[in-house]
Amino acid sequence: MIFMEDVQQSQATIAMPIDRVGVKGLRLPIVVRDRESGVQHTVAQVSMSVDLPAEFKGTHMSRFVEALEHWEGTLDYHSFLTLLDDIVDRLQARSAHLRFVFPYFLRRRSPVSKAGGMMDYTCRVDGYLKDGKLTFTLGADVPVMTVCPCSKAISDEGAHSQRAEVRILTRFEGFLWLEDLIEIGERAGSCQVYSLLKREDEKYVTETAFAHPTFVEDVVREAAKGLDEHPKVTWYKVEVESFESIHNHSAFAVIESDG
């Protein structure tokens, strides 16, 4: 048997602890819960990391991938905790962080013609395990349309409108559907957006949005109100970014709960 030195476990030149060290950009097919269909197959971008004590030179990067290879592939609270536990054991770490970012698909019917089209929403699951305690966060990025109330009030014709994105992060008790977060985000804008619109749908969306003008501040407050009223949400952070159509910059607003 050939002896191979474990360089990672050797003494660090600079004895300084590292908060997080790991791998990112891994792509993995996963299965997530779908309220309508039961389950949905998608692909996640995965980031994995652990803390590293001051005395060790490096961590064993291959062990992250080994943990992922042994994971069952169905994403829920318990399987997520199992994977984090495995990472802690394999890397002999005190704490571990795990993030899954994935597209989640819902079929949306246009408001008048009822033509169907798939909408994708960027969703994320974050977990931080330290000394056996898991902090688990679920989030969704939701596109909406906004019309500027000021522009509408001061213009003889029309008003500037644009897409905005409602980015929601939550902690919760029990089980929380991604669809709940998406629906809260969609209700916060001037109008929701669709992948497929016929002419009659475009007329409806435009007129609905102009009938409900919203500042970015209005959107973030409306989303926060929806999260406050959700019986399972215990903490949230919501950020709204408006991709301004008449400026070379975005406007944004953030609300974080006290929970």
Whether 176 and 170 have beta carbons less than 8 Å apart is answered as: yes
Position 57 pLDDT exceeds 60: yes
- CA–CA separation, 149 vs 210, rounded Å? 9
Taking only Cα atoms into account, the Rg of the chain, rounded to an integer number of angstroms, comes to 22
Determine the residue type at 24: K
What is the average per-residue pLDDT within 48-73?
88
Give me 186's structure tokens: 């969609």
Q: Is 126 in a helix, a strand, or coil? A: strand
Position 134 pLDDT exceeds 90: yes
Residue 9 pLDDT grade (very low, low, confident, very high; cuts 50, 70, 90): low
Give the pLDDT score at 55: 81
Write the CATH number of the domain with boundaries 18-256: 3.10.270.10
What secondary structure does DSSP assign to 17-31, as a single string? -EEEEEEEEEEEEEE
Give the pLDDT score at 56: 77
Give the pLDDT score at 4: 45
Give the pLDDT score at 15: 67
What is the average per-residue pLDDT within 118-142?
96
The residue ranking higher by pLDDT, 224 or 92, is 224
Whether 151 and 160 have beta carbons less than 8 Å apart is answered as: yes
Give the pLDDT score at 52: 85
Cβ atoms within 10 Å, residue 153: 9
Position 194 pLDDT exceeds 80: yes
Could you report the per-residue pLDDT of 139-189, keeping only the tens digit for each? 999 999 999 999 999 998 889 999 999 999 999 999 999 999 999 999 999
Determine the residue type at 251: A
Q: Is 177 in a helix, a strand, or coil? A: coil
Position 26 pLDDT exceeds 70: yes
Give the pLDDT score at 69: 94
- CA–CA separation, 116 vs 174, rounded Å? 32
- CA–CA separation, 219 vs 34, rounded Å? 26
- CA–CA separation, 161 vs 176, rounded Å? 32
Position 58 pLDDT exceeds 90: no
What is the average per-residue pLDDT within 82-111?
95
Could you report the per-residue pLDDT of 67-79, keeping only the tens digit for each? 999 999 999 999 9
Position 3 pLDDT exceeds 90: no
Which residues, 6 or more positions from 90, have their beta carbon under 8 angstroms from its beta carbon? 60, 63, 64, 66, 67
Q: How far out from the chain centre does Cα 223 lie?
A: 15
